[in-house]
């Protein structure tokens, strides 16, 4: 559905980070990179609190980065988000 | 409903900010104050992109700060969020 309008729908990003691990500033860095790069191309970027070492980035509910599987790299996260816009 | 469990439900905050006005850093400041103060008491803080001068803070969909009506004061915003947790 909406194949032709796909480009114009705005995306939402969620960054879930472990609060007790002190991952807030890392989550803020990723959020800032995304919002300063894509601005209004994104509908919203959410910082969601979590625990147990979580650091996961989702675009419209699809995981595009998971600290437990991927090496942390802000530029790579920005590239992966761009691929989904 | 849930009168007894009211305290344990987590809240979501949304900060809608005007992208072309350059309000991103102000939105980030408010978000940082909220997440560093309340941590896991909040479920999530969302930065939502907007235009036309908007700068509005909502807690669970209730507006607690609107730049068009209130003077900008991070500490006051933190107090108003606390009152709703």
Closest CA of chain A from B47, distance in Å:
5
Rg, chain B, Cα only: 13
For A7, residues 6+ apart whose C-beta sits below 8 A from its C-beta are none
Using a CB–CB cutoff of 8 Å, tell me whether A37 touches chain B. Answer: no
Average pLDDT over residues A4-12: 66
End-to-end CA separation in angstroms for chain A: 17
Closest CA of chain A from B36, distance in Å:
8
Q: What is the pLDDT of residue B8?
A: 56
Q: What is the pLDDT of residue A82?
A: 97
Kindly report the average pLDDT of chain B as a whole number: 91
- What topology does CATH give the domain B10-82? Glutaredoxin (3.40.30)
Average pLDDT over residues B45-67: 97
- Taking only the tens place, the pLDDT of each residue in B6-29 is 455 789 999 999 999 999 999 999
Closest CA of chain A from B84, distance in Å:
18
Query: Is the pLDDT reported for residue A85 higher than 70?
Result: yes
Cα separation, B4 vs B27, whole angstroms: 33
- Taking only the tens place, the pLDDT of each residue in A24-54 is 999 999 999 999 999 999 999 999 999 999 9
Average pLDDT over residues B50-65: 97
- Token pair belonging to A11: 């995306």
Cα A2–B17–B85 angle (5° rounding)? 100
End-to-end CA separation in angstroms for chain B: 16
In this predicted complex, what is the ipTM?
Answer: 0.89
Q: What is the pLDDT of residue B5?
A: 44
Q: Are A17 and A47 spatial neighbours (Cβ–Cβ below 8 Å)?
A: yes
Q: Are B18 and B54 spatial neighbours (Cβ–Cβ below 8 Å)?
A: yes
| Closest-CA residue to B81 (of B47, B33, B40) | B33
Q: Are A65 and A56 spatial neighbours (Cβ–Cβ below 8 Å)?
A: yes
Cα B62–B67–B72 angle (5° rounding)? 105
pLDDT bracket for residue A8 (50, 70, 90): low
Using a CB–CB cutoff of 8 Å, tell me whether B69 touches chain A. Answer: no
- The answer to which of A1-5, B37-41, B80-84 has the lowest mean pLDDT is A1-5
Using a CB-CB cut-off of 8 Å, the residues of chain B touching A31 are: 28, 47
Q: Kindly list the domain boundaries of chain B, sorted by start residue.
A: 10-82
Query: Is the pLDDT reported for residue A6 higher than 80?
Result: no
């Amino acid at each position: 559905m909406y194949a032709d309008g796909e480009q114009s729908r705005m995306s939402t990003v969620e960054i879930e980070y472990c609060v007790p691990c002190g991952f807030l500033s890392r989550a803020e860095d990723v959020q800032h990179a995304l919002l300063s790069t894509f601005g209004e191309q994104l509908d919203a970027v959410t910082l969601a609190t979590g625990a147990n070492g979580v650091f996961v980035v989702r675009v419209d509910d699809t995981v595009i980065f998971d600290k437990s599987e991927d090496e942390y790299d802000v530029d790579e996260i920005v590239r992966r988000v761009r691929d989904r816009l």
